[in-house]
């Protein structure tokens, strides 16, 4: 079963009077690369979070957001008295200079940066353990999303490889025609250059055999067929991280297709090779989306 690189997961829970909401999404990426948006109380656990998601998600560009809200009116807080006094003295001085009433200074003061803050700088271990399960649940949902996307990728890639194999079969009836065209073309070229009466038929056959051996692409066809079979076998294996291996196999398929094209010397076979390359490029694009 294939897993797509892209996905989204969300989970939430109420933990000790806090509403915890976790959202995680992933995009294509060669390695594991994660950006986080965490509340201050979770900052000390950031390395643990990265390790957890790296284990579950393995690869991709990961974006994590954790939002924690205190429920009700029981939110613990502290007031930075020293900073509040400093702000108040400054505001009072400005109000007196501008002859502005001072009645609303207190409400403005409580909204100033860092005057009021959470009572806890670090979430207790017990609460963190519960938050961790919510993060893990969101990551598992993302993997489920990846799996669903992977099913569509599987069907598309199998179709691409089957099309390449079918195009390879289309070459077979053209090979005899290709040989005759090469023979006729070479014979005509020699007649034009030296004259028909100067051509030694035996020597011509020897040179023709040598030339056709160099133009023969039987080995390339065999290897291309085997690579396609190997691709289909690999994609069917229950391997979560099959993307890199499938990419390597497609590189080998591309080499054989390119060699076929360079040796073709036949317009219809060249057209078939072009269609193969088109299917191959589409397959490569899809493999980039695979975990």
**Residues in the chain, pLDDT under 50:** 73-74
Instruction: Name the residue with tokens 């990265």.
Output: 50
Q: Could you tell me the domains of the chain?
A: 7-74+124-145 (3.30.230.40), 77-117 (no CATH), 148-287 (no CATH)
139-187: pLDDT as tens digits:
999 999 999 999 999 999 999 999 999 999 998 888 777 777 776 776 6
**Where would I find the beta strands (DSSP E) of the chain?**
7-15, 18-27, 32-37, 60-70, 77-79, 116-118
Tokens of 87: 């702000």
Q: Given this model, what pLDDT does residue 12 score?
A: 94
- Per-residue confidence (pLDDT) for residue 35, from 0 to 100: 94
Which of 46-60 are b and which e, b meaning 16 or more Cβ less than 10 Å from the residue's Cβ?
A: eeebeeebeebbbbb
* pLDDT for position 265: 76
Cβ proximity of 26 and 3 under 8 Å:
no
Cα–Cα distance measured from residue 289 to residue 243, given in angstroms and rounded to the nearest whole number:
8
Q: Report CA Rg, the chain.
A: 35
Residue 27: left if φ>0, alpha if ψ -120 to 50, beta else—which one? beta
* Nearest Cα residue to 24 out of 13, 8, 11, 36: 8
Owner of token pair 């353990």: 129
> Tokens in use for 119?
């009572």
């Amino acid at each position: 079963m294939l897993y797509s690189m892209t996905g989204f997961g969300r989970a939430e829970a109420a933990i000790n009077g806090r509403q915890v909401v976790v959202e995680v999404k992933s995009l294509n990426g060669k390695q594991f690369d994660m950006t986080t948006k965490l509340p201050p109380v979770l900052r000390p656990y950031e390395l643990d979070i990265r390790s957890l998601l790296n284990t579950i998600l393995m690869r991709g560009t990961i974006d994590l957001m954790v939002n924690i809200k205190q429920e009700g009116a029981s939110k613990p807080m502290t007031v930075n008295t020293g900073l509040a006094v400093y702000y108040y003295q400054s505001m009072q001085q400005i109000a007196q200079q501008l002859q502005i009433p001072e009645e609303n200074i207190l409400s403005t003061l409580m909204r100033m940066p860092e005057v009021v803050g959470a009572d806890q700088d670090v979430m207790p271990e017990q609460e963190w353990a519960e938050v961790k399960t919510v993060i893990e649940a969101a990551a598992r949902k993302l993997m489920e999303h990846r799996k669903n996307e992977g099913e569509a990728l599987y069907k598309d890639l199998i179709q691409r490889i089957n099309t390449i194999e079918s195009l390879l079969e289309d070459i077979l009836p053209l090979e005899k025609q290709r040989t005759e065209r090469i023979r006729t073309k070479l014979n005509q070229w020699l007649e034009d250059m030296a004259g028909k009466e100067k051509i030694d038929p035996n020597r011509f056959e020897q040179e023709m055999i040598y030339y056709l051996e160099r133009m023969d692409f039987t080995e390339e066809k065999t290897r291309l067929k085997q690579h396609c079979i190997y691709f289909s076998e690999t994609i069917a294996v229950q391997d979560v991280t099959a993307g890199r291996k499938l990419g390597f196999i497609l590189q080998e398929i591309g080499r054989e297709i390119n060699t076929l094209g360079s040796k073709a010397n036949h317009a219809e076979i060249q057209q078939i090779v072009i269609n193969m390359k088109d299917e191959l490029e589409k397959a490569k694009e899809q493999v980039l989306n695979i975990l």
